[in-house]
Amino acid sequence: MAYIEFRDLGVEYSDAGRAFTCFAATRTGRLAPFWENVRAAAFRAGGKVFSPAAYAVCRCATDPDVLFHYPHANMVWHCSFAFSEGPAEAPEAKLDIALTNNLVEFSVEGPELLLQGHASWNDAPVSELIPLRSEGGSAALHGSCGPAVPEGADMLYDRQSDSAVRFDGKALFSFDWEANAYLLEAEVAENAPLRVTFEEGMGRKLFALKHWKGISHAHGFDTPPAGWMTWYAVRFDACEKVVLENARAMKELFGKFDEKLCVWVDWEWCHRRLYDHGDPGVDVFHPRKDAYPHGLLYLSEKIRKMGLRPALWTGCTCDGNRNEMFRKIPGLLLTELQTWGGYYWLDLSHPAAAKEYIPKVFKKILDWGYDIIKWDCLLNTMRINDEERARRYDPGLSTDEAIHRCIAAARKVIGDKAYLLGCTGQERSVLAAPDLFDACRIGGDVFSWDDFKSNAVALIYSYFPLHNTSLFLDPDTLVLRKEYSTLEQARSRITFFSLTGMQLTLGDPVAELDPPRIDALKRAMPTVEIRPTEFVRKTFSGDVAVIVTSVAKASGGWHVAGVFNLGKRKRKVTLDLNRDLGLPEKDHTAFEFWSRSFAEVKKGRLTVELPPGGCAAFRLTPVEKAPFVAGSTRHLLQGAVELTKWGYDPEKELLSGTAELVAGDETELWFRAPEGFRFAPQKNLTIAGQTAKLTLKPLRSGPCRWKVVCGKA
In tens, the pLDDT along 436-491 reads: 999 999 988 999 999 999 999 999 999 999 999 999 999 999 999 999 999 999 99
pLDDT beyond 80 at 424: no
Q: What average pLDDT does range 620-649 have in this prediction?
A: 97
Is the model's pLDDT at 71 over the cut of 60? no
Predicted pLDDT at 428: 84
> In sequence order, which residues have a C-beta less than 8 Å from that of residue 413 and are 6 or more positions away?
358, 359, 362, 363, 366
Predicted confidence at residue 655, as pLDDT, reads: 98
Burial class (CB in 10 A: 0-12, 13-18, 19+), 572: exposed
Instruction: State the Cα–Cα distance between residues 301 and 309, nearest whole angstrom.
Output: 9
Q: Into which CATH architecture does domain 542-622 fall?
A: Sandwich (2.60)
85 confidence band (pLDDT: 50, 70, 90): confident
The proportion of the chain whose per-residue pLDDT surpasses 70, expressed as a percent, equals 98
Q: What is the pLDDT of residues 264-311, one digit of tens each?
A: 999 999 999 888 788 899 999 999 999 999 999 999 999 999 999 999
At residue 405, the pLDDT reads 97
Angle at the Cα of 77 from the Cα atoms of 73 and 82, rounded to 5 degrees: 115
Residues 148-170 pLDDT 10s: 999 999 999 999 999 999 999 99
User: How is the beta sheet containing 654-661 ordered, strand by strand?
Assistant: 643-649, 654-661, 702-712, 677-679
Task: Read off the pLDDT of each residue in 314-329 and give the average, rounded to a whole number.
Answer: 96
pLDDT 10s digits, 525-568: 999 999 999 999 999 989 999 999 999 999 999 999 999 999 99
Res 73: pLDDT: 60
Q: What is the pLDDT of residue 67?
A: 61
The predicted structure's pLDDT at residue 471 = 95
User: Residues with Cβ < 8 Å from 202, sequence gap 6 or more?
Assistant: 157, 162, 163, 164, 535
Residue 544 parent element (H or E): strand 544-553
C-beta atoms surrounding 623 within 10 Å: 13
Residue 422 has pLDDT above 70, yes or no: yes
Share of the chain above pLDDT 90, in %: 84
Mean residue pLDDT of the chain comes to 94
pLDDT at residue 65, as a whole number: 63
Using alpha carbons, list the distances in angstroms from residue 591 to 562, 618, 708.
12, 5, 18
**What is the C-alpha to C-alpha distance for residues 271 and 597, in angstroms, rounded to an integer?**
49
Distant-in-sequence, close-in-space partners of 142: CB < 8 Å, separation ≥ 6: 133, 136, 150, 532, 533, 534, 547, 548, 549, 550, 582
- pLDDT, residue 468, reads 98
- CB neighbour list of residue 367: distance below 8 Å, 6 or more residues apart: 297
Collapsed DSSP state (helix, strand, coil) of residue 224: coil
pLDDT at position 388 over 80: yes
Residue 70 binned pLDDT confidence (cut-offs 50, 70, 90)? low
CATH number of 226-532: 3.20.20.70
Q: What HEC string does 178-202 produce?
A: CCCEEEEEEEEECCECEEEEEEECH
- List, for residues 31-50, the tens digit of each pLDDT value: 999 999 999 998 888 788 88
Task: Give the amino acid at 280.
Answer: P
Q: CA 468, CA 568: separation in Å to the nearest integer?
A: 33
| 3-class DSSP string for 371-397 | CEEEECCHHHHHHHHHHCHHHCCCCCC
Nearest to 353 by CA among 313, 435, 409: 409
- Overall average pLDDT of the 78-102 stretch: 87
The model carries a pTM of: 0.96
**pLDDT of 466:** 96
